[in-house]
Amino acid sequence: MARSKDQKELDKIYRELRDANNGSYSSESNDLLRFFIGLLLLGGGLFMILQNINVTSNWGGYFFHIGSFHLANGMIMLPAIVGIGMLFLMDRKIFGWIVLSIGIVIILLSVLLTTHLEWRRTNAYIFIIMFGMVAAGGGIVIRELFRQR
């Protein structure tokens, strides 16, 4: 008889927990699944878009130019070379690191400023699929991130 009373209490506690939980475990796992599906759609769409972009550069030419300012490519390397030399020659290496850093920034800027992006020729079906995946995936991810719980 004591066993049935304990069993009834356990059943009552189990029902209360189940009602309080109200299936939120399955809802949370569905939210997480929708979030990752959105991430996959977004990532797949961005991958397809980036696969259809050609990147070219004319940095290998004799002169680097910004507007009407022309500079030979060898002169772009000069601050980096001087900075490396300063690191070995000077006792206070901070000035060498500063000149080397400026040289690296100038080299990176010259490469970035001479880079051209071109869209590859594709058909409308692939175009719609790519941007549709990005839009759908981005929408799902944003909806799951900002959902009121």
What is the share, in percent, of the chain residues with pLDDT greater than 70?
82
CA angle centred on 16, ends 144 and 26, rounded to 5°:
25
More confident residue, 139 or 69: 139
Mean pLDDT, rounded, for 78-92: 90
Considering only CA atoms, which of 53, 51, 73 is closest in space to residue 61?
A: 73
Q: What's the pLDDT score for residue 147? A: 86
The residue extents of the domains of the chain are 27-145
As a whole number, the mean pLDDT across the chain is 84
0.75 exceeded by pTM = no
Considering only CA atoms, which of 60, 87, 55 is closest in space to residue 74?
A: 60
Q: What's the pLDDT score for residue 24? A: 52
pLDDT beyond 70 at 63: no
Q: What's the pLDDT score for residue 75? A: 80
Q: What's the pLDDT score for residue 123? A: 94
Encode pLDDT of 89-130 as tens digits.
988 889 999 999 999 998 888 888 878 889 999 999 999 999
Contacts of 46 (CB under 8 A, 6+ apart): 134
Q: Please answer whether residues 96 and 104 qualify as being in contact, where contact means their C-beta atoms are separated by less than 8 angstroms.
A: no
More confident residue, 132 or 17: 132
Q: How confident is the model at residue 22 (pLDDT cuts 50, 70, 90)?
A: low
Q: Please answer whether residues 90 and 100 qualify as being in contact, where contact means their C-beta atoms are separated by less than 8 angstroms.
A: no
Mean pLDDT, rounded, for 16-31: 66
Give Cα separations from 13 to 2, 25, 35, 41, 94 (angstroms).
17, 18, 33, 42, 70
Residue 109, Cα to own-chain centre: how many angstroms?
21
